[in-house]
Amino acid sequence: MAKILTPPQAAPIMDIAKELLPPGMELVVVDPGKPEFYDKAADAEYYLGSPRTGIGNEFFRAAPKLKLIQLTSAGYDRVDLEAARKAKVPVANNGGANSVAVAEHAVMLMLAVLKKLVYHHNNVVAGKWRPGDFASIRTYEVEGKRLGIIGLGNIGKKVARRVQGFDMDVRYFDILRLTEDQEDALGVRFALFTEILKTSDIVTLHVPLNDVTRKMISTRELAMMKKTAILINTCRGPVVDEDALHQALTAGTIAAAGLDVMVEEPPKPNHPLFSLPNVTLTPHSAGPTWDNWTKAYRNGFDNIQRIEAGRSPLWVVPELRDLVG
């Protein structure tokens, strides 16, 4: 019987995993923070979950039978890929299980920033009905605005599809370009990275965190953006240089930002961005919706079954695809 090591979740979520668990497989539920985690790892053939702490050499040494790290998240920056390579264990993400959720969240942040949702909510509950005037408290429409998508993977494509209903002008930058027919079908056009920054009204980030993307948005990049532009980040906090962003928002280099992720999570209570009125924040909550737990576990178990049947797993991260041929 294949043993699958998985971290505990709330009981209703674990019920989903148990309901989908294929025959001939056993879920071994253990908290990574407990000493017995490494004891249980000794017999585990698979890891299924989203690590709250890093997965590195110590774990791979403790799990000599391991065949796959199957993540329930899209991001994989908490897995030491060099340690995985050394152990010859592929790492797969969730196969887009949360891509709809994150895409919707990105669009929500765009609207929340442009419509000043948090500002108006706070005033209403404080007993202030329509304070100020419409010239000083400006809100905006998305129709006709140029959206620049940086990273056109599963999530970026879904963002592009969703904003078509708003009649936005969509440009994208990705290291993998679509064909013209594919661009037509999605309603997007390729632009260079610097073009995206210089011409977009909204820039939304959908890239993995790695050595190339860390601080890819910093002082120079923010200075290229329009003074009226807003920045949306629902991928990983360290993709944006927070000090540079704080300076840009304070100085009026860009207009506003909507962030679901931060460099340090949770952030310290006195984080400089908290005091700015032109920042809308959510607590890295874009990905996990009630709807997509089923998708994440279904994709995970499918990948495990593939390996058990002698086939290659899907959704292996690019850095380790050579491990599966």
Q: Which residues are catalytically annotated?
A: 236, 265, 284
What residues contact residue 323 under an 8 Å CB cut-off, 6+ apart? 85, 88, 89, 90, 316
Name the residue among 61, 34, 21, 63 with its Cα closest to residue 46.
Answer: 63
Give the span between the Cα atoms of 19 and 289, in whole angstroms: 18
What whole-number distance in Å separates Cα of residue 50 and Cα of residue 261?
16
| Identity at 234, one-letter amino acid code | T
Residue 135 DSSP code: T
Integer Cα distance of 67 and 45 in angstroms: 5
Report the alpha-carbon distance of residue 194 to residue 243 in Å, rounded.
21
d(CA 126, CA 123): 5
Give one DSSP letter per residue of 84-111, joined into a string: HHHHT--EE--TTTTHHHHHHHHHHHHH
Q: How far apart are CA 294 and CA 15, in angstroms?
A: 10
Please state the length of the chain. 325
Tokens, residue 273? 């961005």
